[in-house]
Amino acid sequence: MTYEIKVPEMGESVIEATVVNWLKEPGERIAVGDPVVELETDKITLEVNAQQAGILQSIQHPVGENVAVGDVLGIMASEGEPAKVAPSQDGESQPAEASDLGAQVGAETNTAAAPETRATPLAQRMAEDMGINLSKVSPSGSGGRITKEDVQAYASQAQAAPAAQPKPAGAVPNQPAQVRSAAPPPSAGEIVIQTDRREERMRMSRRRQTIARRLVEVHQTAAMLTTFNEIDMSAVIGLRKRRREGFKERFGVDLGYMSFFVKACIAALKEFPKLNAEIQGNEIVLKHYYDIGVAIGAEEGLVVPVVRDADRMNFAGIEKAIRRFVEKVQDGSLSLDDLRGGTFTITNGGVFGSMLSTPILNPPQVGILGMHAIKERVMVVDGQMEIRPIMYVALSYDHRMVDGREAVLFLVRIKELIEDPTSLLLG
């Protein structure tokens, strides 16, 4: 008896994906629940698991092909079925009984991931482009996954290892080697042509394609403006120093800056509700709930998981939610539900060292707050020069919905709340 492995429902508005990695080979035995193939959507990479035990007979869509919901990815048969010819991923056919032997032989030379090798899609493509056998790369990612950093480290080690130079036949011992004379330096005014003009071409991931398309759409459909301000972080830094250790002991999570800004944004959004809204045709939809998107950097590009009903959470609840999302991003387990919706977004370029930027809207939202690095600056305080830790913040907004006055006052309100965080605690 045979059954089809199909592309599952992938969530609202997601109807297409790309096959990025087959985790099993034709002829291989598969248990119920085993991951069989990885698909990449414009939001996440997901695994398709086996719904019943059996043997993978054939692969219908090899790596790199686009598939839609309901497409047949592969054919499985129960273990009692007679062996059939199983096409491999490169299009050649081989008897199913011989696939195990073929996999063993191919593992020595194939530069792609072995069936049991766990690697992120980006690491897989990098290995293929660089001709690296992933079975020789040590994983450092969560869940034993190989990351792009692991592939880069392996490639650097391979390049640094000196190649043994064989002695030519008939060479006389202790005879000095012939040294090839270096090219003379160019004379004044001489034009030197650079001969190393290597180029590299790789497929743009589906997520990267979607990010590119959506960013262009924002500029084409929204009247986006950005306003800036600066925040004295002294009070928050002092509060964190006093409470950080006890907070972690009590709640098991660190007290970061993000929870302060989430709380401040919610308070400001309640005062300026148009920044927690969206435009639908000729109507404005004001949202009286606060689902705050928190941008997190990932290998394939920025993702924005959503902290739902953040206004009902305390500082610990917000920090725990963000930590769970970071862990999911690292081990590749982020789901579509984690990314769906959101009424307002916060992005922190400061973790990468950014001093100032103009964040781009996350449609259909009409506002996004950009945090940046904290740097000591000389400030005038009560007529005296003082050194204070300052963060520049930016608010990008859709001018179709939000007037400049509202945007400026919104950002000023956030500044006031962060510079006096006791008001957030009391609230």
Phi, psi of 31 (to 5 degrees): -90, 160
Q: Please give the structure tokens belonging to residue 128.
A: 């293929």
Q: What is the mean pLDDT of residues 137-153?
A: 80
Share of the chain above pLDDT 70, in %: 80
Same-fold call for 114-155 versus 224-426: no
Q: What is the pLDDT of residue 118?
A: 74
**What pLDDT digit, counting tens, does each position of 157-188 carry?**
877 765 545 545 544 444 444 444 455 666 66
pLDDT of residue 182: 53
**Token code pair at residue 108:** 């020595």
Write out pLDDT tens, residues 31-76. 888 889 988 877 777 788 888 888 998 898 888 888 888 889 999 8
Report residue 91's pLDDT band, with 50, 70 and 90 as the boundaries. Answer: very low
The confidence band for 221, taking pLDDT boundaries of 50, 70 and 90, is confident
pTM beyond cutoff 0.85: no
pLDDT at 244: 92
Q: With contact defined as beta carbons under 8 Å apart, do 232 and 410 qualify?
A: no
C-alpha dihedral over 53, 58, 64, 66, to 10 degrees? -80
The whole-number pLDDT of residue 81 equals 60
CA angle (97, 102, 108) in 5-degree steps: 155
Per mean pLDDT, which of 140-149, 193-202, 291-300 is the most reliable? 291-300
The reported pLDDT for the residue numbered 94 is: 44
**What is the CATH number assigned to the segment(s) 2-109?**
2.40.50.100
Residue 191 has pLDDT above 60, yes or no: yes
Q: Which residues contact 159 (CB under 8 A, 6 or more apart)?
A: none
34 touches 54 (CB < 8 A): no
- In this predicted structure, what is the pLDDT of residue 257? 95
pLDDT digits (tens, 9 = 90+) for 316-326: 999 999 999 99
Cα torsion at 87, 88, 94, 99 (round to 10°)? Answer: -130
Pick the CATH number of 224-426 from 3.30.559.10, 3.40.640.10, 3.30.365.10, 1.10.10.10: 3.30.559.10
**What pLDDT score was predicted for residue 89?**
44
Residue 321 has what pLDDT?
97
Q: Is 19 strand, coil or helix?
A: strand
Supply the pLDDT for residue 93: 42
Looking at the DSSP bridge assignments, the partners of residue 386 are 379
Percent above pLDDT 90 for the chain? 41
**Per-residue pLDDT reduced to its tens digit, 336-372:** 889 888 999 999 999 999 999 999 999 899 999 999 9
Closest CA to 265 of 158, 125, 416, 389: 416
Residues serving a catalytic function are 399, 403
Higher-pLDDT residue of 122 and 423 is 423
8 A C-beta contact, residue 299 and residue 307: no
Higher pLDDT, 347 or 329: 347
Q: What is the pLDDT of residue 161?
A: 65
Question: Which pLDDT score is estimated for 33?
Answer: 86
The pLDDT assigned to 313 comes to 95
**Domain ranges for the chain:** 2-109, 114-155, 224-426
Distance CA 114, CA 135 (A): 6
Q: Domain 114-155 belongs to what architecture?
A: Irregular (4.10)
- Give yes or no for residue 224 having a pLDDT over 70: yes
Residue 225 burial (CB < 10 Å; 0-12/13-18/19+)?
A: middle
Q: Which residues pair with 16 in a beta bridge?
A: 68
Across the chain, mean pLDDT equals 82
What is the C-alpha separation between 27 and 29, in angstroms, rounded? 7
Is the pLDDT confidence value at 243 over 60? yes
